[in-house]
Amino acid sequence: MPVEPLPQKEIEARLPALPGWSLDGDHLTRSYRLASHSAATAMVVHISQVQEELDHHSDLTLGYDTITLTVNTHSVGGAVTDLDFALARRVENLAPGHGAV
């Protein structure tokens, strides 16, 4: 089944189910602040494993104790798709209780 870009209204309707995530231009984004650099690095490893399982990879930035994900689907011109929401949900399941920055 081909991946299709989601309409703006669909994206906006789905975002409330992902607290802390927002639409920034043509991608979903969220930052997490963790307790330490080691905790942030460990979360990056877990996110990378999820990305491999889904065969869908985000841009990921690691600061000292902060991770920022930028998610869209490059194969459809950088639009937001179901794949992006699936990845965001999986990442949220990795990080319950971690606050967005």
CATH of the domain at 31: 3.30.1360.20
CA angle 14–55–43, rounded 5-degree value: 75
Answer whether residue 60 is part of any domain.
yes
Answer whether residue 16 is part of any domain.
no
Answer whether residue 6 is part of any domain.
no
Answer whether residue 9 is part of any domain.
no
Give the structural domain span for 46: 22-75+90-100
Answer whether residue 65 is part of any domain.
yes
The answer to whether the beta carbons of residues 72 and 87 sit under 8 Å apart is no
The whole-number pLDDT of residue 99 equals: 52
Answer whether residue 28 is part of any domain.
yes
CA angle 34–15–52, rounded 5-degree value: 60
Answer whether residue 84 is part of any domain.
no
- Tokens representing 6 are 């989601």
Exposure on the CB side of residue 92, measured as CA atoms within 13 A: 16
DSSP assignment letter at 22: E
Q: Mind listing the pLDDT tens digit of every residue in the chain (101 residues)?
A: 578 999 999 999 999 999 999 999 999 999 999 999 999 999 999 999 999 999 999 999 999 999 999 999 999 999 999 999 999 999 998 875 655 54
Write down the pTM of the prediction: 0.91
Name the domain count of the chain.
Answer: 1
**Cα 85 to the center of its chain, rounded Å:** 8
